[in-house]
Structure 1
């Protein structure tokens, strides 16, 4: 097995950060193509939206166990194998266009992406420690937010110039390029492999989930990211059907959504010394207030510009909450780095998939006001969960 060489620290860290946005890239790049995919595959809009749900569910479930897998079998070989599978699954979607094959490939992509992302996050814990580790982990959500910023923007132009299948060709080529980069410059950095013992693994999961501040965080993270997913699943139809604009405009709208997530992440890093629960309450309150304003405004006047102004502000607030709690969770249990990383993303993604699918299925979002209503529901739920955290965690966490 090829071992990690410290002289490649810089380039292997760059490679890690290039792979961190993969989960966002694979969900967001084809959003502008939703309407054309619906026509090309001869299915309803809901069937195309399900491709996103299938990915989220498989990704979330895989993340729950990916931590223990990479702690037992290492990061390097799993990353290489998962990149190969990910590349081939994207090419299969293009070569054999069928909605059921698309569902199957998205499930496979969810599993492969989970192994890649958890492996690379744990890789940072393997090679860094102390303040340097906190520095790099605090950048994770900021780097990840580059995918929601750039992917739909790129996807909109690919859709306009080449059609929906160009998005999946790009994902496959991207995976192959990263495969070459990882093989050349990365290596196995895990020093102590943990035996794949179900009792030991179960004990690790129990120890992590018993901490109420951690387990409650999974719900908060899922609700915060749920805002972005509800937007992602509804905006192609709002922009292209309600406003009668092009897929390129959908890409620009998603770009503003991603910018909001990035701005929120940067604000979260800048305010790292502020009281923890106080930051969460501030972000949740901002979401609720902005959601009410967005709903009220949409009753009288609605354009793509007003829509995106509110979305930018709302996603900045959700990105702020996500960064604050994500950084807290993944550094909460350094002795269970893989398990904590997997659970933090996996369980929160499951919450996101359930919440976003429930909202999309019941509200049928087609206008600014209906999108605002979904944000209001998520904001109220988030504040209730954060208040429960304040009650069960006590003053120690409140002023952390």
Structure 2
């Protein structure tokens, strides 16, 4: 997703369409990726993790090459939907691997590490994408993706293997009952919502930044790539800090991080009335995306470890649920708030940040210590 963000303006020109039409390739991918995980979770509990993962890598590779060699926008839309499904299979399979192999604190440790490593994608991909765009044009990004997926298909053949202990029978009713059992838990549902709000902020920046940097500030696509790399570093910084503070009171650290975001969003909206530049944009990105990465990492670990008995279904529901929320929120905000400058970006951020804070303080969380947060006096009660 992130590798071709610096190419969005050029794609709009080369394919003779609007920026909104090109931004739809991001939204379609996220929607497909999110909805597909709801299906994939049950499938990989039946058919295993390994072979579906291999097949998905080949499909992703082939669809990437097809996108690179066509100028048919509807076909690109279809391939992005296909890629969303393929990536859903890959990521649910790999998240389930951790749940298959580890338990307790060790599982929390590795799921937290997984989130930190996942943040490397937004760091490296736009940097490469900016270089590819400047050197060879937008199609080179998808050629790279096709080769990348094919390479890891080969690596997986020689190093991978099945981690599932015992396959579960495929039953729509069992899958539906499992999903209902998880969703009806308020803390789990709130966790998915917060993940969606937090990641929507990062995706929103990815959708708006090429136009803010290249059109508003008149800088090159390479600069967009560098700035996206900086955004990824910010998210990874927040995730790393969350690993360091993994044993600190769960809700207290979330409230502090979210409250800090509210203050920062207010400062952004006020200050950008008077001055806007690349420096101010990157300062706000670092502060908001690092705190967002901190919140995201904590909630991802919480949700993935909440129902270890369901493994694939739980990881599929978490990934699918928050991706759908992310896609809906980012698409609505892009349409409702015309993000033509940093002030508008700050307003969109504020909407997401307030939603995050409300979910955090209104939810009774069940951590390993059964902590319940009381918003009135901020007491921690151990059950």
TM range (shorter): over 0.9
Partner of 1:14: none
Superposition map of 1:332-347 within 5 A: 332-347=306-321
Partner of 1:282: 256
Superposition map of 1:1-400 within 5 A: 27-390=1-364, 396-398=371-373, 399=380
Q: CA deviation at 1:212?
A: 1.1
Q: CA deviation at 1:128?
A: 3.1
Between the aligned partners of 1:265 and 1:160, the Cα distance in structure 2 is: 31
Q: CA deviation at 1:301?
A: 0.9
Q: CA deviation at 1:71?
A: 0.6
Partner of 2:376: none
Q: CA deviation at 1:392?
A: 10
CA 1:137/1:392 → structure 2, altered by over 3 Å: closer, same or farther?
closer
- The more displaced of 382-391 and 139-148 is 382-391
Which structure is higher in helix share?
A: 1
- The more displaced of 140-149 and 280-289 is 280-289
Between the aligned partners of 1:168 and 1:239, the Cα distance in structure 2 is: 22
- The more displaced of 280-289 and 47-56 is 280-289
The answer to whether the 8 Å contact 2:251/2:365 transfers is: no
Report the TM-score, using the length of structure 1 for normalisation. 0.91
Paired residue secondary structure (1:28): coil
Q: CA deviation at 1:396?
A: 3.1
Q: CA deviation at 1:395?
A: 7.3
Q: Deviations over 1:288-345 (max 9, x none)?
A: 1111111111111111111111111100011111001110000111100111111111
- The more displaced of 130-139 and 337-346 is 130-139
Between the aligned partners of 2:207 and 2:51, the Cα distance in structure 1 is: 34
Q: Which runs of 5+ in 2 are unaligned?
A: 374-379
The answer to whether the 8 Å contact 2:365/2:371 transfers is: no
The answer to whether the 8 Å contact 1:212/1:392 transfers is: no
Between the aligned partners of 2:362 and 2:73, the Cα distance in structure 1 is: 42
Report the TM-score, using the length of structure 2 for normalisation. 0.95
The answer to whether the 8 Å contact 2:9/2:211 transfers is: yes
TM-align CA RMSD:
1.6
The answer to whether the 8 Å contact 2:365/2:372 transfers is: no
Paired residue secondary structure (1:334): coil
The answer to whether the 8 Å contact 1:221/1:348 transfers is: yes
Paired residue secondary structure (2:298): helix
Q: Which runs of 5+ in 1 are unaligned?
A: 1-26
